[in-house]
Amino acid sequence: MNTGNDQLFPLHSHFERPAQQIDAAKLGMWLFLATEVLLFGGLFVAYAVYHYLHPDLFKAAHHFLDVRLGGFNTVVLLFSSLTVVLAIHGAQQGKKQMVLWNLFLTLLCASTFLVVKYFEYKHKFHMGLLPGYYFTNAMLPNPDQAHIFFGIYFLMTGLHGVHVVIGMIVLGWLFYRTWNNEFNPQYYSPLEIGGLYWHLVDVIWIFLFPLLYLIR
């Protein structure tokens, strides 16, 4: 790695220009996001197929989900997307404190989301809605098939939760690098790339919330 002409952009040796390095990094992230879309796309297809085969079951089972908590988490993630955008804007303006505060708020939102999800899961476990051996709930019209809905629910929201945790690790790493003055108005592409990942996490939840919580 060399430091370029102005000592502000850490240009790697296999790139000729800063713009080339930034474009390569963004292209790599977009390709990664495409694989994530394919992953969740397969799960959304599975949801559509099972919903088509068991419409009454899905309508009955979704009443065991707390719409208020799901809606609250939706607002939390939407706000976190705003704070990520403000963090990037702060980096463009060379405002370190603005970047740090908005990354901190994004991490706080992510933590809030996971805490709410913990209480949601805890309630489902208490109600005997965990698929498999522990599925003991007999309040649904077809208890022998109800595990289908909750299997999809735990798989999709659990996988999304894993992505939230990974996003928190990325945001924490960006916070650390910002604290160490590694970003400036000429070099902040890691913040943009991390922001792209976080927006994907938010967008996936925007689809999950109505599909699981607002079934009609």
pLDDT-wise least confident of 17-31, 78-92, 114-128, 132-146: 132-146
CA atoms within 13 A on the CB side of 40: 23
Instruction: Flag whether pLDDT at 5 surpasses 80.
Output: no
Instruction: Flag whether pLDDT at 199 surpasses 60.
Output: yes
Mean pLDDT within 59-84:
93
Task: State both tokens at 130.
Answer: 């965990």
Q: What angle do CA 216, 48, 71 make, to 5 degrees?
A: 50
User: Tokens 């994907």 appear where?
Assistant: 200
Tell me what pLDDT residue 35 has: 93
Task: State both tokens at 160.
Answer: 């999304």
Tell me what pLDDT residue 7 has: 57
CA atoms within 13 A on the CB side of 13: 1
H helices, E strands: number in the chain: 6, 0
Tell me what pLDDT residue 118 has: 95
User: Tokens 């949601």 appear where?
Assistant: 120
Task: State both tokens at 63.
Answer: 């009443």
Per-residue pLDDT band at 8 (split at 50, 70, 90): low
